[in-house]
């Protein structure tokens, strides 16, 4: 279980590369002259091809190769990436993805068709003027292929041999490209007593006298490029080719040929130019002369900040363990507090501090920037806008906002629904927009932002807005409200979340079936989040999702009601006040006066059917969701509690006022109050009261 | 759990955990039983259905505690020295769910033979027939093999 299936590793890597490729292609549609984008798309393709071949995905490799060849002309700036070309390239990308993920379902004919399309675009499209980009770009492949050769400076990380890579094999491969003049650079070799026999200290300076492509050279070093520095510069034309191919094979331990190395290094340093593909940084000569020790130290630091791939399940497991630790720590703290042993108290405090920082670190490790999710929707918008012939500009912001990875996964489907809705129903067609004096191109904004202990994700369109009258008519038609009932716009919009509710007069392939919004709402609420709609007629609709930062552990307020102890999520708590004698006496009205504002309150003793007699001084915890505030009356406020959330089983799914349970310091379970549900409950009570007053 | 069993189980036999509820004996399919624990403090869930009135903490998991006595209309006894919680794993709507079941006494793990199975009589029972898988004879006594999925759904 520890060793991951290499094919699986490839699949994971490929799926990340696909995201890069797709992103680059889509951006290219907006900014066709951006060389960076072309290069990053090309790099992704190249890596897919290389690792595909390595892991035995031969079809992937050969198809990608064809794709790459066709795309190469775009890279060389000979063709402009048109919208059509990008569509074909996206189709090609999807095909490669299918080849990797589900080879059985693919058909060679489809692949051929896509390639034909690609080739047709790149060959038919002989540009009248070979585009401005070619002039701006640094002299690339077309120029390169005409020159006399390449000057390479190779520097491998010292541990390269331990990974099973052999620099000599690579040099041999390089020699196959053409006559090579190889000089080892030995200035990195330490004294014998400092030498690690398994480290590679040699560097090489190579003059390759062959008119080969830069890619051919990159191909040679493809699998070690992260562990080496490759400085590449074209050989000057004037330099005469070496009389005969000469290849010096030197053993690692062999005596240095210092006199030979020195002048060549100088040449290398003088000719260093930045490599366009950006894989290797030009290496200043001074650095190569620094002591080996300092260099390895620096390398170690570099490796330290590198990312590590961890299976998601292991993170989940880690979170579970931390949860158990927090519970055990709570028990220890309780035990220590009840005893009088000072040293145990100190240890308990120390462990409390460690557990809480471990919790934060673990949760941090589970946080993923939401940008990885946003990227997926660009394709969706691109396709939808093409299919519906509604030009749409897609703007995202707050991509680096971090959310728990489980939540990111759960968010994908709801956001697809919301974005589809926004384009299909929200954005008007071009004619309507023009008639209303709007820009022809619609606009969808997807944004994420931190707001206290919550993350707000908004989907905003600048379309026609919700048709409140139509929603109302539909709700009356479906018998959800009585005709003529007095409702605010906000209340009417809530019907959109009703199962099976759709106002679309025609059902399209995309939306209008009335499934969706209720699912969206349920998914969001399952994550302990909430969803909110706001709309302005003629100007657009904004859907706001409010999500908690994490699903696993929250800060809670522990309270006691009768014999039972309950948790209220601290993020919802506004303040705690004492229930005054006056409030207590008036059984008829359930309102508090909080600094002049009327706040309805619920007696938790009644709600939770607590036994025993109430405490003399009842406390009120004011909670809020959105704009509504509600007081909860409890017997006692015990204090803060690190709450590890455990979900309630199916057998209790009918109990809505609890969102989960947790385990307290003494090992008993305590239930977590669902704040949103309590507020709804309070509101309905208030409404009932109004009704009974009116009657 | 299988300790004290003599020999291999016979193919036509069913291993059961024999528990006592009030005056009756019930046989729970041993394959469902995960563990048997001493009673732990319970947390009442307000508004829950009467036969799953509370939750308990079993090794870090919060699981519902079911009371079969309520489903079978028996009087509830106070916890005694013999009271145990039998933790069983059920498949409810395709999902495995752990449930604790209060037993007034746990007798033993034993085998009942399929040949001892009796037809559930249509008359003479005050229990809902769908709660009962079958009735078997064990040591000259009739024991009920309950249908836990039905009882808890």
Do residues A232 and A282 both lie within one domain? yes
Cβ-Cβ contacts under 8 Å for A692 (sequence gap 6 or more):
none
Q: What residue segments make up the domains of chain B, in order of their start?
A: 13-151
Please report the pLDDT score of residue A693 as a whole number. Answer: 66
Is A671 within 8 Å of B55 when comparing Cβ atoms?
yes
- DSSP element (H, E) containing A328: helix A312-338
Shared-domain flag, residues A463 and A594? no
Q: Is the pLDDT of residue A176 over 60?
A: yes
- Name the 3-class secondary structure at A593: strand
- Spatial contact of B102 and B63, defined as CB atoms under 8 Å apart: no
User: Does residue A676 share a domain with residue A562?
Assistant: yes
CB contact under 8 A, B152 and A652: no
- Which residue's entry shows tokens 């990053």? A40
- Cβ contacts of B93 on chain A, cutoff 8 Å: 650
A602 & A616 share domain: yes
Model pLDDT for residues B52-83, shown as the tens digit of each residue: 999 999 887 899 999 888 888 887 778 888 89
The residues near A197 (Cβ < 8 Å, ≥ 6 apart) are none
| Chain B residue with minimum CA distance to A321 | B60
Residues of A in contact with B64 (CB under 8 A): 648-649, 651-652
B96 to chain A, any CB pair closer than 8 A? The answer is no
Give the domain range for residue A146.
Answer: 142-301
Provide ipTM, 2 decimals: 0.84
What band does A411 get if pLDDT is binned at 50, 70 and 90?
confident
Spatial distance between the Cα atoms of A236 and A139, rounded to a whole number of angstroms: 14
Cβ <8 Å between A663 and B60? yes
Identify the domain boundary among A89, A116, A137. A137
Q: Please report which confidence band the pLDDT of residue A70 belongs to, taking 50, 70 and 90 as the band edges.
A: confident
3-state class of A620 per DSSP? strand
A286/A386 same-domain check: no
Write down the pTM of the prediction: 0.53
Q: In this structure, are A480 and A616 located in the same domain?
A: no
Strand partners, B61: B58
Classify residue A113: in a domain, yes or no: yes
Task: Give the number of other Cβ atoms within 10 Å of residue A686's Cβ.
Answer: 15
Given the structure tokens 């590890």, which residue do they identify?
A644
- Give A510→chain B minimum CA distance, Å: 30
pLDDT at position A626 over 80: no
CATH code: domain of residue A467 = 3.30.565.10
A289 within domain boundaries: yes
Q: Which has the minimum average pLDDT: A177-181, A223-227, A373-377, A607-611?
A: A223-227
Is A324 in Cβ contact with B60 (below 8 Å)?
Answer: yes
Output the domain CATH number for residue A688: 2.30.30.40
Instruction: Kindly report the nearest CA distance between residue A669 and chain B, in angstroms.
Output: 6
Cα–Cα distances in Å, from A528 out to A256, A410, A525, A569?
Answer: 67, 12, 5, 11
**Strand, helix or coil at A621?**
strand
A251-282 per-position pLDDT tens digit: 444 444 444 444 444 444 444 444 444 444 44
Q: For the residues A174-200, what does the mean pLDDT come to?
A: 80
- A266 and A392 assigned to the same domain: no
Is residue A37 domain-resident? yes
Q: Which residue has the higher pLDDT, B14 or B66?
A: B66
DSSP H or E run through A174:
helix A167-177
Distance from B52 to chain A by nearest Cα, in Å?
7
Q: Who has greater pLDDT, A331 or A236?
A: A331
8 A C-beta contact, residue B95 and residue B74: no
- Residue A638 C-alpha, separation from nearest chain B C-alpha, in angstroms: 17
Tell me: the pLDDT tens digits for A79-130? Answer: 777 777 788 888 888 888 888 877 777 777 787 888 888 777 776 554 443 4
Domain membership of residue A307 (yes or no) is no
Minimal Cα–Cα distance from B88 to chain A, Å? 13
Which of the two residues, A568 and A453, has the higher pLDDT score? A568
Q: pLDDT, tens digit, for every residue of A441-485? A: 888 999 998 776 678 899 998 888 888 888 888 888 877 777 777
Active site residue A68: yes
CB contact under 8 A, B63 and A649: yes
Tokens of A27: 């951006």
Put simply, the answer to whether A652 touches B95 (Cβ < 8 Å) is: no
Q: Please indicate, yes or no, whether residues A119 and A189 belong to a single structural domain of this protein.
A: no
**A395 and A340 share a domain?**
no
The answer on A297 and A168 residing in a single domain is: yes
The pLDDT confidence band at residue A695, using thresholds 50, 70 and 90, is low
Dihedral sign (CA A11, A15, A20, A23): positive
The domain made up of B13-151 has a fold known as OB fold (Dihydrolipoamide Acetyltransferase, E2P) (2.40.50)
Strand order in the sheet with A564-569: A636-644, A553-561, A564-569, A669-673, A658-663
Is A665 found in the same domain as A531? no
Which of A323, A609, A669 is facing B43, going by the closest CB pair? A669
Residue A403 or A56, more confident: A403
Measured CA to CA, the distance from residue A281 to residue A275 in angstroms comes to 7
pLDDT digit string, tens, across residues A500-522: 676 555 444 444 444 577 788 88
Chain A residues in contact with B43 (beta carbon < 8 A): 564, 661, 668-671
Domain-embedded: residue A314: no
Q: Return the residue in A602, A632, A650 with the most chain B beta carbons within 10 A, the one to mutate for interface testing.
A: A650
Share of chain A above pLDDT 90, in %: 4
Residues of B in contact with A649 (CB under 8 A): 62-64, 97-99
DSSP line for A341-364: -HHHHHHHHHHHHHHHHHHHHHHH
For the question of residue A421 being annotated catalytic, the response is yes
Residue A566, domain member (yes or no): yes
Let me know whether A606 and A660 are in one domain: yes
Q: Which of B41, B47, B99 sits opposite A655 (nearest CB)?
A: B47
DSSP conformation letters of A443-500: EEEEEEEEETTEEEEEEEE-S----HHHHHHHHHHTTSS-TT----HHHHHGGGGSTT
Query: For residue B99, which residues of chain A lie inside 8 Å, CB to CB?
Result: 649, 651
Q: How far apart are CA A662 and CA A642, in angstroms?
A: 9
Count of structural domains within chain A: 5
Q: In chain A, what residues touch B56 (CB-CB under 8 Å)?
A: 669
Do strands A228-234 and A150-156 pair parallel, antiparallel, or not at all (unpaired)? antiparallel
Reported as a single tens digit per residue, the pLDDT across A211-239 is 777 777 777 777 777 778 788 777 765 44
pLDDT at B33 over 90: yes
Q: How far apart are CA A425 and CA A440, in angstroms?
A: 16
- Answer whether B57 sits within 8 Å of A669, measured CB to CB: yes
């Amino acid at each position: 279980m520890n060793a991951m299936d290499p094919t699986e590793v490839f699949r994971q890597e490929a799926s990340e590369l696909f995201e890069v490729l797709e992103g680059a292609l889509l951006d290219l549609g907006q900014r066709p002259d951006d060389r960076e984008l072309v290069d990053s798309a090309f790099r992704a393709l190249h890596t897919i091809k290389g690792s595909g071949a390595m892991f035995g995905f031969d079809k992937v490799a050969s198809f990608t190769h064809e794709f790459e060849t066709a795309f190469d002309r775009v890279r060389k700036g000979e063709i402009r990436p048109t919208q059509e070309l990008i569509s074909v390239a996206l189709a090609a990308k999807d095909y490669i993805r299918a080849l990797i993920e589900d080879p059985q379902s693919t058909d060679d004919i489809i692949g051929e068709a896509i390639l034909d399309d690609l080739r047709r675009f790149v060959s038919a499209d002989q540009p009248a003027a070979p585009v401005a980009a070619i002039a701006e770009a640094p002299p690339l492949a077309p120029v390169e292929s005409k020159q006399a050769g390449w000057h390479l400076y190779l520097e491998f990380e010292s541990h390269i041999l331990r990974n099973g890579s052999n620099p000599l094999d690579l040099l041999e491969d390089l020699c196959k490209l053409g006559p090579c003049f190889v000089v080892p650079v030995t200035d990195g070799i330490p004294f014998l007593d400092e030498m690690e026999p398994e480290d590679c200290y040699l560097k090489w300076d190579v003059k390759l006298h062959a008119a080969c492509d830069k890619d051919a050279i990159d191909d040679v070093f493809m699998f070690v490029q992260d562990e080496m520095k490759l400085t590449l510069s074209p050989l000057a034309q004037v330099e005469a080719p070496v009389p005969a191919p000469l290849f010096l094979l030197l053993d690692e331990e062999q005596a240095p040929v210092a006199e030979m190395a020195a002048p060549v290094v100088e040449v290398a340093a003088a000719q260093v130019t930045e490599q366009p593909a950006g894989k290797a940084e030009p290496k200043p000569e001074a650095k190569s002369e620094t002591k080996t020790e300092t260099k390895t130290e620096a390398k170690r630091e570099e490796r330290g900040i590198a990312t590590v791939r961890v299976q998601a399940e292991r993170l989940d497991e880690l979170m579970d363990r931390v949860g158990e630790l927090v519970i055990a720590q709570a028990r220890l703290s309780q035990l220590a507090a009840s005893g009088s042993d000072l040293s145990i108290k100190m240890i308990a405090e120390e462990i409390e501090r460690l557990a809480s920082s471990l919790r934060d670190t673990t949760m941090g490790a589970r946080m993923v920037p939401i940008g990885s999710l946003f990227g997926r929707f660009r394709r969706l918008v691109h396709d939808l806008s093409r299919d519906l012939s509604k030009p749409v500009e897609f703007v995202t912001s707050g991509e680096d906002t971090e959310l728990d990875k489980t939540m990111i996964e759960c968010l994908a489907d709801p956001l697809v629904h919301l974005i589809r809705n926004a384009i299909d129903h929200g954005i008007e067609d071009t004619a309507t927009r023009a008639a209303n004096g709007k820009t022809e191109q619609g606009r969808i904004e997807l944004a994420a932002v931190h707001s206290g202990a919550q993350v707000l994700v908004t989907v905003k369109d600048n379309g026609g807005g919700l048709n409140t009258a139509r929603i109302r008519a539909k709700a009356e038609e479906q018998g959800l409200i009585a005709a003529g009932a007095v409702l605010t716009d906000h209340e009417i919009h809530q019907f959109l979340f009703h199962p099976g509710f759709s106002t679309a007069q025609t059902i399209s392939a995309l939306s209008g079936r009335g499934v969706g919004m209720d699912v969206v709402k349920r998914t969001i609420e399952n994550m302990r989040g909430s969803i909110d709609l706001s709309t302005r007629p003629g100007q657009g609709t904004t859907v706001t999702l409010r999500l908690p930062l994490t699903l696993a552990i929250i800060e809670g307020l522990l309270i006691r009601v009768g014999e039972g102890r309950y948790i209220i999520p601290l993020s919802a708590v506004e303040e705690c006040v004492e229930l005054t004698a006056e409030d207590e006496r008036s059984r008829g009205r359930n309102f508090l006066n909080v600094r002049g504002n009327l706040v309805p309150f619920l007696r938790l003793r009644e709600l939770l059917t607590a036994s025993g007699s109430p405490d003399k001084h009842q406390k009120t915890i004011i909670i809020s969701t959105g704009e509504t505030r509600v007081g909860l009356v409890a017997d006692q406020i015990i204090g803060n509690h690190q709450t590890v959330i455990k979900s309630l089983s199916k057998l209790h799914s009918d109990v809505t006022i609890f969102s989960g349970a947790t385990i307290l310091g003494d090992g008993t379970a305590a239930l977590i109050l669902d704040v949103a549900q309590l507020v709804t409950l309070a509101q309905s009570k208030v409404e009932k009261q109004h009704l009974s007053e009116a009657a | 759990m299988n300790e004290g069993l003599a020999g291999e189980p016979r193919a036509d036999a069913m291993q059961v955990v024999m528990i006592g509820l009030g005056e009756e004996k019930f046989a729970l399919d041993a394959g469902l039983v995960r563990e048997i624990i001493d009673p732990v403090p319970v947390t009442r869930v307000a508004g829950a259905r009467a036969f799953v009135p509370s939750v308990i903490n079993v090794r870090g998991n919060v699981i519902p505690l079911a009371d079969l006595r309520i489903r079978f209309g028996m009087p509830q006894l106070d916890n005694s020295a013999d009271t145990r919680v039998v933790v069983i794993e059920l498949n409810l709507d395709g999902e495995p769910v752990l449930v604790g079941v209060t037993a007034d006494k746990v007798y033993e793990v034993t085998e009942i033979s399929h040949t001892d199975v009796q037809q559930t009589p249509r008359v003479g029972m005050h229990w809902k027939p769908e709660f009962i898988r079958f009735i078997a004879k064990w040591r000259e006594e009739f024991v009920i093999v309950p249908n836990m999925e039905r009882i808890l759904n």
